[in-house]
Structure 1
């Protein structure tokens, strides 16, 4: 790096490290007040100025005292729940139930082909793994359906309150 880049980086770094600036409040013979960065020729005092972002606190918006209009937020939420939210949640529950029924292990396929139940030794690892996998899939499917039902109930309860 050349010396100009080093100097530019150093100045940039110093600009970020300076958290406060000194400003002088000067008063002249007539009582007129002025501010400057150099020392005052007459009377004056030193004032420290800090960036506003360090001590700034967010201002909370004042609560609205105005009445809600005919098509306010409550009406919009109720309209959404009636026309989209609840019907879509019901459809999701039904779709989940149909998918669970469709993914249930087909017993006819398990008995067909060279790996029929009669050709497998009782307690074979293949049959046990298949049964365990089917139970796991069934449990996951039921859990997903129950979660969708709970979401539907909460949407219906919210709609009932509105």
Structure 2
């Protein structure tokens, strides 16, 4: 009895791995109407063998192209940011820095010697000039830095 059970199990397993196929008969009646049935046609007709369109698992679809983006994609968001915030803020920072530098230069120029002696007053004036030159150099370097940043943002905006 056990060999018979093994045979049935083997047959069932083999049938499980086979792709299903169905025979469909396309029959044409005497009045010319077409009908489909699983039994053979009594008159004229043809047999159509139907199989599933795909065997096995559904294939994985390729992800959408990285170059395509929607209406509000990353490039639109970047362009919008640059137009509304990036470039205007960079311009404002440059103008603010230039005003601060001008105010510092003017404040140093208006400050007079605080010491009473002629020698001390001369020494203070020299220190003031040295400090003013250092501040002016630092202001010019920072101004150039801010201009380069603004130009880079404007160039990026132009490319978008």
What TM bracket, shorter-length normalisation?
Answer: 0.5 to 0.7
State the Cα RMSD in Å.
Answer: 2.5
CA distance in 2, matches of 1:68, 1:84: 23
Three-state SS of the structure 2 residue aligned to 1:145 is: helix
Residue equivalent to 2:93: 92
CA distance in 2, matches of 1:63, 1:99: 53
> Normalised by the size of structure 2, how large is the TM-score?
0.53
CA distance in 1, matches of 2:83, 2:130: 41
Name stretches of at least 5 consecutive residues in structure 2 with no aligned partner: 1-61
Q: 2:109 aligns with which of 107, 110, 113?
A: 107
Q: Would you say how many aligned residue pairs link Structure 1 and Structure 2?
A: 97
> How many angstroms does 1:70 deviate by?
0.3
Residue equivalent to 1:46: none
Name stretches of at least 5 consecutive residues in structure 1 with no aligned partner: 1-61
Residue equivalent to 1:127: 125
> How many angstroms does 1:108 deviate by?
3.2
Choose 1 or 2 for highest CA Rg: 2
CA distance in 1, matches of 2:94, 2:108: 22
Consecutive aligned runs of 4 or more in structure 1 exceeding 4 Å deviation: none
CA distance in 2, matches of 1:154, 1:128: 39
